[in-house]
Amino acid sequence: MLAADPRLENNPAIAFSTGNNNRNQPTPNPNIQLPADFPPEIPRYPNAQLQEVTQSTTRWTTSDPMNAVQSFYQNELQTNNWDVSQSTQEGILEAQQNGLRVTLAIPATTNQSSTAESNLAGNTEFTIQYTRDTTAAASPSISAETDNVPQPGDADFIGPVPSQQNEQTAQSVDSTGQQTNTPQTFNDTNQAPQELRQYLQDLIALGVLPLQATSKSSAPTTQFEPSKTVMRREYARWLVTANNQFYASSPAQQIREASSSAQPAFQDVPSSDADFPIIQGLAEAGLIPSPLSGSSTTVLFRPDAPLTREQMILWKVPLDTRSSLPNASVEAVQQTWGFQDAAKIEPRALQAVLADFQNSDRSNIRRVFGYTTLFQPKKTVTRAEAAAALWYIGSASEGVSAQEALRLQQSGTSQATSESLSPTTEYD
């Protein structure tokens, strides 16, 4: 009975969880079950309760501190021969094995120095996102099938020479020499909620929702997955692309992409990252918190972490107001929006939430979430919800919608086509 617990040798998390105050243990929700496609090879934290399930993302809560959760997954993944590619003090852990990619995200607290103490006193929330790459296994068979197919230049080749146009190019050049976005085609937009479907369709028609950075070569996809959680790097990419497309004729309103020679604002977004010009550009414009804007503790961007509601509003509203955010308090947000959970919103996001209220029916919160008395600031955002937020940029009195931008784009294309087809020679 007095011998050391042998479990401590292989499971450091027990050292933190044993003796933990059980009265803080979150209550399980019997109505929430793991999705059928949840990979069984992903380790399950023994002291966590499932709180929310979205497409390819699960959210958990435990009364154990965040360092216990991190230690458990670090140990389990390495023991089971996972390739752990990134581990930071901000609570992000990425690993992959046999085409399965897993991202563990533990949202950092506002006071970084007291993270462990605050988590010991309350509950730790973390999300697990998983994606499985099925193209790697398919590629060899496709290659084998085409190895013996005659190619142009062979004596046995019969047929037309394939077009050299790159169908994967995310941008094209119009008749004026200006770069424009080529719309992608997705066959699952009908899976988006009815209230958000038209917003999503308008933005897709504009071509402002690229799923990959333009500098990456990847096979085109026909699946947008509207219910999938949007990542921070994806939303940053869409935010810049939508703004610059809406204000295509107003260079002064556009967000400039950063040069590859710029000193990185974030430690986890180097200049070699495909999305560096956009993320760095947002930081240099002061539109997202970074050391450049005075947020000395925000040294990581966490590009592959899920986007939360408060982050979505914090990044978007400055584009709507085109001015500094107003001073805000929990009481002011409670009086205007009536949010019961206003105290859970970070101070900087409080300012954006209060400014968004002044846009009346044009506000992002009303457009995306409808009427609600709970903001749920830490809840993750789906791709369809992120698209709805970007559908309109501006204030209640002045702005541009995706529908208007699409109409202008179509009229400009028609005019350019008409001019290119205008006769230069008179015919009888």
The neighbouring-strand residues paired with 374 are: none
Question: What is the average pLDDT across 317-330?
Answer: 94
How many Cβ atoms sit within 10 Å of the Cβ of residue 355? 21
Q: How confident is the model at residue 325 (pLDDT cuts 50, 70, 90)?
A: very high
Q: How confident is the model at residue 145 (pLDDT cuts 50, 70, 90)?
A: very low
Rounded-to-integer distance, Cα 385 and Cα 365, Å: 10
Q: How confident is the model at residue 140 (pLDDT cuts 50, 70, 90)?
A: very low
* pLDDT > 90 in the chain, percent: 43
Question: What are the structure tokens assigned to 358, written together?
Answer: 């002044």
Q: How confident is the model at residue 113 (pLDDT cuts 50, 70, 90)?
A: very low
At 340 the pLDDT is 96
Task: List, for residues 242-258, the tens digit of each pLDDT value.
Answer: 999 999 999 999 999 99
Q: Please name the helix (run of DSSP H) or strand (run of DSSP E) that holds residue 172, with its range, or none.
A: strand 171-173
Task: List, for residues 233-243, the tens digit of each pLDDT value.
Answer: 999 999 999 99
Q: Please name the helix (run of DSSP H) or strand (run of DSSP E) that holds residue 399, with its range, or none.
A: strand 399-401
Q: How confident is the model at residue 76 (pLDDT cuts 50, 70, 90)?
A: confident
pLDDT at 109 over 70: no
SS3 57: strand
Q: How confident is the model at residue 115 (pLDDT cuts 50, 70, 90)?
A: very low
Rounded-to-integer distance, Cα 13 and Cα 233, Å: 31
* 216 vs 123, more confident: 123
What lies within 8 Å, CB to CB, of 396 at 6+ separation is 358, 359, 360, 361, 362
Backbone φ and ψ of 180, nearest 5°: -125, 160
Residue 284 near residue 265, CB atoms below 8 Å: yes
CATH class of 8-133: alpha beta
* 69 vs 178, more confident: 69
Residue 51 near residue 59, CB atoms below 8 Å: yes
Residue type, 120: L
Q: What is the mean pLDDT of the chain?
A: 78
Residue 10 near residue 73, CB atoms below 8 Å: no
Rounded-to-integer distance, Cα 367 and Cα 159, Å: 52
* 8 vs 177, more confident: 8
Rounded-to-integer distance, Cα 194 and Cα 3, Å: 61
Report which DSSP code applies to 242: H
Provide the b/e sequence for 166-204 (b: ≥16 CB within 10 Å): eeeebeeeeeeeeebbeebebeebebbeeebbebbbbbb
At 47 the pLDDT is 82
SS3 53: strand
Residue type, 333: V
Max mean pLDDT range (38-52, 175-189, 340-354): 340-354
Residue 56 near residue 382, CB atoms below 8 Å: no
Residue 306 near residue 231, CB atoms below 8 Å: yes
Q: How confident is the model at residue 5 (pLDDT cuts 50, 70, 90)?
A: low
Rounded-to-integer distance, Cα 26 and Cα 29, Å: 9
Residue 350 near residue 330, CB atoms below 8 Å: yes
Angle, nearest 10°, between helix axes 194-206 and 383-390? 70
At 121 the pLDDT is 46
Judged by average pLDDT, the poorest of 105-114, 181-190, 262-271 is 105-114
pLDDT at 221 over 80: no
At 178 the pLDDT is 43
SS3 41: coil
Q: How confident is the model at residue 134 (pLDDT cuts 50, 70, 90)?
A: low
**Half-sphere exposure (Cβ direction) of 393: Cα atoms closer than 13 Å:** 24
At 196 the pLDDT is 95
User: Exposed, middle or buried, 134 (CB in 10 Å: 0-12/13-18/19+)?
Assistant: exposed
Question: What are the structure tokens assigned to 95, written together?
Answer: 């690993």
pLDDT at 31 over 50: yes
User: Exposed, middle or buried, 312 (CB in 10 Å: 0-12/13-18/19+)?
Assistant: buried
Q: What is the dihedral of CA 17, 20, 22, 23, to 10 degrees?
A: -140
Q: How confident is the model at residue 80 (pLDDT cuts 50, 70, 90)?
A: confident
pLDDT at 188 over 80: yes
At 160 the pLDDT is 43
Question: What is the average pLDDT across 255-270?
Answer: 94
pLDDT at 349 over 70: yes
Question: What is the average pLDDT across 329-346?
Answer: 96
Judged by average pLDDT, the poorest of 13-27, 88-102, 112-126, 298-312 is 13-27
